[in-house]
Amino acid sequence: MSRSRYVVLISGILFAAVFTVAESQAATCQSLSTLKLADTVITIAQPIAAGEFTPARNGSKPVPVAFCRVAGKIKPTSDSDIGFELWLPASGWTGRYESVGNGGFAGSIRYDSMLNPLLAGTAVASTDDGHSGGGSAWALGHPEKIIDYGYRAVHLTAEIAKAITTAFYETTPHHSYFVGCSKGGQEALMEAQRYPGDFDGILGAANANQWTALFSSFAWNQKLNQAEKAGYISPVELEKIGAATLAACDASDGVKDGLVSDPLRCSVSSAALSLSAAQTKTFEAIHSGPKNSSGKTIHSGQPFGLEHISWRNSITGPSFEEASARSSQTMYANGFFANFVYGDPNWTFRQFDVNKSPADAEKAVGHILNSDKLDFSEFKKRGGKLMQWHGWADSLVTPLGSIDYYKKVMAAQEVPSKTQDFYRLFMAPGVDHCGGGPGPNQFGQAGGNGDPEHDIVAALYQWVEKGIAPGKVTATRYVDNDPAKGVAMTRPLCPYPQVAKYKGSGDTNAAANFVCAAP
């Protein structure tokens, strides 16, 4: 065995990592436990044989390849407890490093997002964002944990994980990436804005980057929809809405297939919905988005199309009586304002004041959680590439918010027409929050181990490493969402503002017969 010393540069500070290197891969992995890194304790440094480790999350199957598993804690403050995990391919490392984002209120390592990058030969890390377990009660009275959750955990995990990767392979990663959805989308844009040197390529989806405005919209939607039973939109009304919307807008792309491919050009007359006056008022208001008493828009509303699928769980709930307990927007609104903003665990959306609460949220945590700045100059200067996608059937984080933000970024550029030189947005028809939905919903969202035409993460790798910008990504819907049963449909996802249009001949379920074109 030989004794080696690696010096790693982290945030301008040199940290010496001294450990013993053995002939075997196993000893080298185990020796990572002796690395000395700032505010960090490594708790696991374990070689894992193929099939030996089964992650706990989502009933995952055993990991089919060998890797070095490293886990630890980062404690930048006395109230911090940032958990992280890093998987290092035992063989075939591509030279890439990737961080994966979290979701919701976080609290766990995202093993589900780590698998595909590992299979692609990428060193991949995840963080719990500074706390363990679901819910948001952890934030009450813990301002440092809120900072960890807002941006510090992802940044420090990237620094520490890259230092460990460098020590393990005795060379620095040649490119670094970040991939995340929802809260991970907020993290994606936060990294590009606040820490432009952390990653060369960033992919964010369903980006919850306009955090305080988004959570204000949750509270506003629920207060509106649950104000009185007469105005509540139930699953029965949602079916009426869905039928009317599809009848009006389904064929806008030249094909009638049960999908509204371009909701921006879809609207439905309230008269066609057979709703009561009170329900119509609710329906129109949710589509318009929250406004204060002076008419100022707080956040984007909901698009038309597939309300009967996506509103059911996120906005309306199964019934008026159960909505406050089962709607995901209710859960997020209550948890955020109670524990992050007002410090009152008994606060509920019924106390939301559209003229006051959004400003209260902005003042309390906007500077920590909002990643809505428009300046990407440093990220661009480094040659960074930013990709974003959003499902059109996502009613938790409205896709109109992503389009609104993209337009603002474009308008802020010195040459707006060159925005797509570094930043591209892809809209996915019929796709729900971070995946699922009735549309073509598989395109490598947590990928990296596919080809760039069908795997959006691989498309990001290609853009960064070869300079080939993604002109489209082909999305697939499998029969019963089961790849073993075969392909039901493929469609191209196009860089906004382009949309997929049918060429006029050929199989309407084949992406080859569609072209990305101006709407």
- Percentage above 70 pLDDT, the chain: 94
What's the pLDDT band for 268 if we cut at 50, 70, 90? confident
Among the listed residues 148, 253, 262, 394, the single catalytic one is: 394
Residue 227: per-residue pLDDT: 87
Among the listed residues 142, 390, 433, 454, the single catalytic one is: 433
Q: Is the pLDDT of residue 6 over 80?
A: no
Q: What is the pLDDT of residues 173-196, one digit of tens each?
A: 999 999 999 999 999 999 999 999
Q: What is the pLDDT of residues 365-403, one digit of tens each?
A: 999 999 999 999 999 999 999 999 999 999 999 999 999
Give the mean model confidence (pLDDT) for residues 451-474: 98
Residue 312: per-residue pLDDT: 84
What's the pLDDT band for 58 if we cut at 50, 70, 90? low
Residue 269: per-residue pLDDT: 80
Task: Please list, in sequence order, all residues whose beta carbon lies within 8 angstroms of the beta carbon of residue 227, skipping any fewer than 6 positions away.
Answer: none
What's the pLDDT band for 19 if we cut at 50, 70, 90? very low
pLDDT, mean over the chain:
92
- Percentage above 90 pLDDT, the chain: 80
Q: Is the pLDDT of residue 23 over 50?
A: no
Active site (annotated) includes residue 39: no
What's the pLDDT band for 273 if we cut at 50, 70, 90? confident
In DSSP terms, 492 is beta-bridged to 474
Structural tokens at position 96: 């890439």
* CA 274/CA 27 separation, integer angstroms: 70
Q: What is the pLDDT of residues 210-256, one digit of tens each?
A: 999 999 999 999 999 988 889 999 888 888 898 899 888 998 888 88
Q: How many CB atoms lie within 10 A of CB 496?
A: 21
Helix (H) or strand (E) holding 27: helix 25-30
Positive/negative CA dihedral, 431, 435, 437, 440:
positive
What's the pLDDT band for 137 if we cut at 50, 70, 90? very high
Active site (annotated) includes residue 433: yes
* CA 146/CA 339 separation, integer angstroms: 10
Structural tokens at position 346: 């008994």
Residue 320: per-residue pLDDT: 79
Q: Is the pLDDT of residue 336 over 90?
A: yes
Q: Is the pLDDT of residue 324 over 80?
A: no
Give the mean model confidence (pLDDT) for residues 326-352: 95
Residue 505: per-residue pLDDT: 94
Q: Is the pLDDT of residue 477 over 50?
A: yes
**For 224-228, 289-293, 480-484, which range has the lowest pLDDT when averaged over its residues?**
224-228
Single pTM value for the model: 0.93
Active site (annotated) includes residue 394: yes
**For 14-23, 56-65, 254-263, 360-369, which range has the lowest pLDDT when averaged over its residues?**
14-23
Q: What is the DSSP letter of 153?
A: H
What's the pLDDT band for 9 if we cut at 50, 70, 90? very low
Among the listed residues 182, 216, 217, 357, the single catalytic one is: 182
* CA 406/CA 425 separation, integer angstroms: 7
**Measuring CA to CA, which residue among 276, 274, 278, 281 is closest to residue 239?**
274
Give the mean model confidence (pLDDT) for residues 487-499: 97
Give the mean model confidence (pLDDT) for residues 87-115: 97
